[in-house]
A and B are shown apart, each in its own frame.
Chain A
Amino acid sequence: MTTASAPAAQQTGRRKSTGALLVHQVRYEQLSFWRNPQSAFFTFAFPVIFFVILGAVFRTGNVYDHISGIEYYTPTITALSVIGCCYSQLAISLSLRRQTGILKRLRATPAPAWLIFGGIVIHCIILSLIDTVLIVIMSRVYGHAFPSNWGAILITLLIAAAAFCAIGVAVASLIKNADAAPAVVQFIFFPLLFISGSYFHIASKVINNIAGVFPIKPFNDALIQTFTLGKGIDGHAILVMAAWGVGGALVAIRRFRWDPRPE
């Protein structure tokens, strides 16, 4: 232990600007994420590898209405990767951080809640965008042309990412025990992926109507429309996702806890 020189009584200095604080927060979120080999592989590399395999097997086959395998899986696996980054990874890491007391430790600093959540959401959006770019590049390698309407794709991705982040925080608010988090998160997520057509096209009208109420199928639809059919924004799909996002945010605001042992 050595001697300190800074006199504690003097409180000089100014608060950082909102932008500088967010950059600071996102930087450390990114560092924590990439250093953890497990999270970097499962949430990040996994969808890309999955796409490479699906693309290799089903590239040229007709899925429906003259849409080829690669045309189908480019949007759905992009959606899968965004959901993985924004919902699964977020819900699991948040409940783990709460259980280990990291959130409480963070709450003990002057960092406001908007900074902590803003940092997480921006971090997840960055991961989603990198995954999307990688999948689009692999899709090009398999012979599918680059999409032309990037504006519509970007808006769809941002709204979906924000909505799935909100749902992720809501689920993390409801999970009591972090050991159960991966199971709970997958339990909600996995059946929905199937009925939403993420892995294969669903022709059944009944199933499509059911899946359409939940946020994953609208996300798939919106990306198929923009990526594959080259059309604009799917307004209906955006509305459904936004509604889920708002619902998730409301649950998160009411129920989110920082303390591993609440009163």
Chain B
Amino acid sequence: MSGHHISSAKFLWGVAISLFFLTFITVAVTWIQIPGPWNVVVAVAIAVVKSLIVAAFFMNLWWDSKFNVLLFIMSVVFFLLLIGITLLDTLFRVDPVPSF
């Protein structure tokens, strides 16, 4: 009997409120103007935390079969691979293709 975890209404509300709160934080950090690349790092870090909360407690990966968790992790790994290998090219071009 796996996969039939029933979350309580209170718990689901708690998850949503934490997501609302983190959305507020995302907006609030833009008011204090974090310098340099750190504003992007902070914004993406909060987005990652939010999506992990959604994946774990709304998409029920926390209680789900490990294989589904593995699939999710692999999609992230291949996404990072896609970006990593692309940037190895585009970041080190002498000049970017002019018409691009």
The answer to whether A and B belong to the same complex is no
- B residues in contact (CB < 8 Å) with A: none
Query: Which residues of A are at the interface with B, using a C-beta cutoff of 8 A?
Result: none
